[in-house]
Amino acid sequence: TQEREILTWQDFGDSMRNLAQEIANSGWMPDVVVALARGGLLPAGALAYALGIKAMGTMNIEFYTDISETLPDPILIPPLMDLSALRGKRVLIVDDVADSGKTLKLVSDIIQTKGLPSGTHGVDGQYVQVDEVRTACIFVKSRSVIVPDYVCKHTDLWINFPWSDKPPVTADN
Protein backbone atom coordinates (compact mmCIF):
# COMPACT_ATOMS: atom_id res chain seq x y z
CA THR A 1 0.00 0.00 0.00
CA GLN A 2 1.16 3.51 -0.88
CA GLU A 3 1.96 6.21 1.60
CA ARG A 4 -1.06 8.40 2.36
CA GLU A 5 -1.61 11.93 3.52
CA ILE A 6 -3.89 11.71 6.57
CA LEU A 7 -6.16 14.62 7.49
CA THR A 8 -7.64 14.26 10.99
CA TRP A 9 -10.85 15.96 12.15
CA GLN A 10 -8.68 18.26 14.27
CA ASP A 11 -6.45 19.15 11.27
CA PHE A 12 -9.61 19.77 9.26
CA GLY A 13 -11.02 22.19 11.84
CA ASP A 14 -7.75 24.09 12.19
CA SER A 15 -7.21 24.21 8.41
CA MET A 16 -10.63 25.67 7.72
CA ARG A 17 -10.19 28.35 10.34
CA ASN A 18 -6.80 29.25 8.79
CA LEU A 19 -8.28 29.29 5.30
CA ALA A 20 -11.09 31.61 6.42
CA GLN A 21 -8.51 33.93 7.99
CA GLU A 22 -6.52 33.94 4.72
CA ILE A 23 -9.67 34.87 2.79
CA ALA A 24 -10.57 37.65 5.24
CA ASN A 25 -6.99 38.99 5.08
CA SER A 26 -7.12 39.05 1.27
CA GLY A 27 -9.74 41.79 1.42
CA TRP A 28 -12.19 39.83 -0.76
CA MET A 29 -15.31 38.52 0.92
CA PRO A 30 -17.60 36.18 -1.05
CA ASP A 31 -21.37 36.73 -1.20
CA VAL A 32 -22.07 33.06 -1.92
CA VAL A 33 -20.20 29.86 -1.08
CA VAL A 34 -20.63 27.00 -3.57
CA ALA A 35 -19.70 23.52 -2.33
CA LEU A 36 -18.62 20.81 -4.75
CA ALA A 37 -20.39 17.70 -3.51
CA ARG A 38 -19.55 15.54 -1.92
CA GLY A 39 -15.91 16.21 -0.98
CA GLY A 40 -16.36 19.96 -0.75
CA LEU A 41 -19.46 19.90 1.45
CA LEU A 42 -17.77 19.76 4.83
CA PRO A 43 -14.99 22.22 3.93
CA ALA A 44 -17.55 24.63 2.41
CA GLY A 45 -19.82 24.44 5.46
CA ALA A 46 -16.93 25.03 7.86
CA LEU A 47 -15.69 27.95 5.76
CA ALA A 48 -19.13 29.54 5.45
CA TYR A 49 -19.52 29.49 9.25
CA ALA A 50 -16.01 30.86 9.78
CA LEU A 51 -16.70 33.66 7.28
CA GLY A 52 -20.19 34.36 8.63
CA ILE A 53 -21.85 33.63 5.26
CA LYS A 54 -25.30 32.05 5.07
CA ALA A 55 -25.78 31.93 1.29
CA MET A 56 -24.67 28.49 0.11
CA GLY A 57 -25.22 26.34 -2.93
CA THR A 58 -24.05 22.95 -4.10
CA MET A 59 -22.85 21.57 -7.40
CA ASN A 60 -22.69 17.81 -7.66
CA ILE A 61 -19.76 16.45 -9.66
CA GLU A 62 -18.72 12.89 -10.34
CA PHE A 63 -15.16 12.02 -11.31
CA TYR A 64 -13.30 9.54 -9.10
CA THR A 65 -14.79 6.08 -8.94
CA ASP A 66 -11.96 4.79 -6.73
CA ILE A 67 -8.41 5.69 -5.66
CA SER A 68 -6.68 6.78 -8.88
CA GLU A 69 -9.59 5.53 -10.99
CA THR A 70 -11.52 8.23 -12.78
CA LEU A 71 -14.13 8.78 -15.45
CA PRO A 72 -12.63 10.34 -18.62
CA ASP A 73 -13.80 13.76 -17.43
CA PRO A 74 -15.70 15.12 -14.47
CA ILE A 75 -19.43 15.44 -15.12
CA LEU A 76 -22.17 17.50 -13.55
CA ILE A 77 -24.88 15.32 -12.03
CA PRO A 78 -28.27 16.23 -10.55
CA PRO A 79 -29.60 17.89 -8.50
CA LEU A 80 -28.51 21.08 -10.19
CA MET A 81 -28.49 24.41 -8.35
CA ASP A 82 -30.18 27.45 -9.79
CA LEU A 83 -27.25 29.39 -11.21
CA SER A 84 -29.31 32.56 -11.64
CA ALA A 85 -28.83 33.11 -7.88
CA LEU A 86 -25.16 33.87 -8.66
CA ARG A 87 -25.83 36.88 -10.90
CA GLY A 88 -23.63 39.82 -9.89
CA LYS A 89 -22.21 37.93 -6.90
CA ARG A 90 -18.73 37.22 -5.59
CA VAL A 91 -18.68 33.43 -5.66
CA LEU A 92 -16.31 31.19 -3.69
CA ILE A 93 -16.14 27.62 -5.00
CA VAL A 94 -14.93 25.16 -2.35
CA ASP A 95 -13.60 21.64 -2.73
CA ASP A 96 -11.54 19.24 -0.62
CA VAL A 97 -8.62 18.96 -3.07
CA ALA A 98 -7.53 20.14 -6.50
CA ASP A 99 -5.87 16.95 -7.75
CA SER A 100 -5.99 17.01 -11.56
CA GLY A 101 -7.84 20.28 -10.98
CA LYS A 102 -10.38 19.29 -13.67
CA THR A 103 -13.34 19.38 -11.30
CA LEU A 104 -12.65 22.92 -10.09
CA LYS A 105 -11.93 24.04 -13.63
CA LEU A 106 -15.17 22.55 -14.94
CA VAL A 107 -17.24 24.32 -12.33
CA SER A 108 -15.50 27.67 -12.56
CA ASP A 109 -15.80 27.55 -16.37
CA ILE A 110 -19.48 26.74 -16.08
CA ILE A 111 -20.10 29.54 -13.62
CA GLN A 112 -17.93 32.25 -15.18
CA THR A 113 -17.71 31.86 -18.87
CA LYS A 114 -19.44 29.08 -20.63
CA GLY A 115 -22.77 28.70 -18.92
CA LEU A 116 -24.10 25.19 -18.69
CA PRO A 117 -23.14 22.86 -21.50
CA SER A 118 -26.01 22.61 -23.91
CA GLY A 119 -28.42 19.83 -23.03
CA THR A 120 -27.25 19.49 -19.42
CA HIS A 121 -30.28 18.20 -17.56
CA GLY A 122 -32.62 20.06 -19.86
CA VAL A 123 -31.10 23.50 -19.28
CA ASP A 124 -29.73 24.99 -22.48
CA GLY A 125 -26.93 27.48 -22.20
CA GLN A 126 -28.14 28.95 -18.91
CA TYR A 127 -25.69 31.80 -18.47
CA VAL A 128 -25.14 34.17 -15.59
CA GLN A 129 -22.83 37.12 -15.26
CA VAL A 130 -21.21 36.74 -11.85
CA ASP A 131 -19.06 39.47 -10.30
CA GLU A 132 -16.05 37.22 -9.69
CA VAL A 133 -15.33 33.57 -9.02
CA ARG A 134 -12.56 32.45 -6.69
CA THR A 135 -11.64 28.95 -5.55
CA ALA A 136 -10.61 27.46 -2.21
CA CYS A 137 -9.37 23.97 -1.31
CA ILE A 138 -7.77 22.28 1.66
CA PHE A 139 -5.17 20.59 -0.56
CA VAL A 140 -3.60 21.19 -3.95
CA LYS A 141 -1.42 18.71 -5.84
CA SER A 142 1.42 19.83 -8.09
CA ARG A 143 -0.19 18.46 -11.27
CA SER A 144 -3.37 20.51 -10.86
CA VAL A 145 -4.38 22.50 -13.96
CA ILE A 146 -5.81 25.14 -11.60
CA VAL A 147 -4.06 26.93 -8.76
CA PRO A 148 -6.76 27.61 -6.16
CA ASP A 149 -6.91 31.22 -4.97
CA TYR A 150 -6.93 30.00 -1.37
CA VAL A 151 -5.30 26.76 -0.23
CA CYS A 152 -3.83 25.36 3.03
CA LYS A 153 -1.76 22.33 2.17
CA HIS A 154 0.33 20.85 -0.63
CA THR A 155 0.79 17.13 -1.25
CA ASP A 156 1.21 14.64 -4.07
CA LEU A 157 0.04 11.64 -2.04
CA TRP A 158 -3.45 10.16 -1.98
CA ILE A 159 -5.29 11.92 0.86
CA ASN A 160 -7.46 10.23 3.47
CA PHE A 161 -10.19 12.65 4.54
CA PRO A 162 -11.84 11.99 7.92
CA TRP A 163 -15.34 11.80 6.36
CA SER A 164 -14.45 9.22 3.74
CA ASP A 165 -11.75 7.05 5.28
CA LYS A 166 -14.24 4.38 6.35
CA PRO A 167 -16.84 2.50 4.30
CA PRO A 168 -20.50 3.45 4.78
CA VAL A 169 -22.13 1.90 7.83
CA THR A 170 -24.38 -1.13 7.63
CA ALA A 171 -26.96 -2.17 10.20
CA ASP A 172 -25.34 -4.09 13.04
CA ASN A 173 -28.48 -5.63 14.54
Q: Is 98 in the site for ligand 5GP (CB under 6 A)?
A: yes
Interface with ligand 5GP (CB under 6 A), residue from 51, 97, 107, 110: 97
**Within 139-158, which residues bind ligand 5GP (CB under 6 A)?**
158
Task: Write the secondary structure of the chain as one string of H (helix), E (strand) and C (coil).
Answer: CCCEEECCHHHHHHHHHHHHHHHHHCCCCCCEEEEEECCCHHHHHHHHHHHCCCCEEEEEEEEEEECCEEEEEEEEECCCCCHHHHCCCEEEEEEEEECCCHHHHHHHHHHHHHCCCCCECCECCCCCCCCEEEEEEEEECCCCCCCCCEEEEECCCEEECCCCCCCCCCCCC
Sign of the alpha-carbon torsion through 11, 13, 16, 18 = negative
Interface with ligand 5GP (CB under 6 A), residue from 30, 43, 74, 148: 74
Interface with ligand 5GP (CB under 6 A), residue from 39, 41, 86, 151: 39
Interface with ligand 5GP (CB under 6 A), residue from 19, 43, 93, 99: 99
Interface with ligand 5GP (CB under 6 A), residue from 16, 101, 135, 152: 101
Q: Is 44 in the site for ligand 5GP (CB under 6 A)?
A: no
Which one of 26-34, 42-50, 78-86, 90-98 is the stretch in contact with ligand 5GP (CB under 6 A)?
90-98
Interface with ligand 5GP (CB under 6 A), residue from 49, 64, 127, 163: 64
Q: How far apart are CA 93 and CA 40, in angstroms?
A: 9
Q: Is 63 in the site for ligand 5GP (CB under 6 A)?
A: yes
**What does the binding site for ligand 5GP look like in residue numbers (CB under 6 A)?**
39, 63-64, 74, 95-103, 158-159, 161, 164
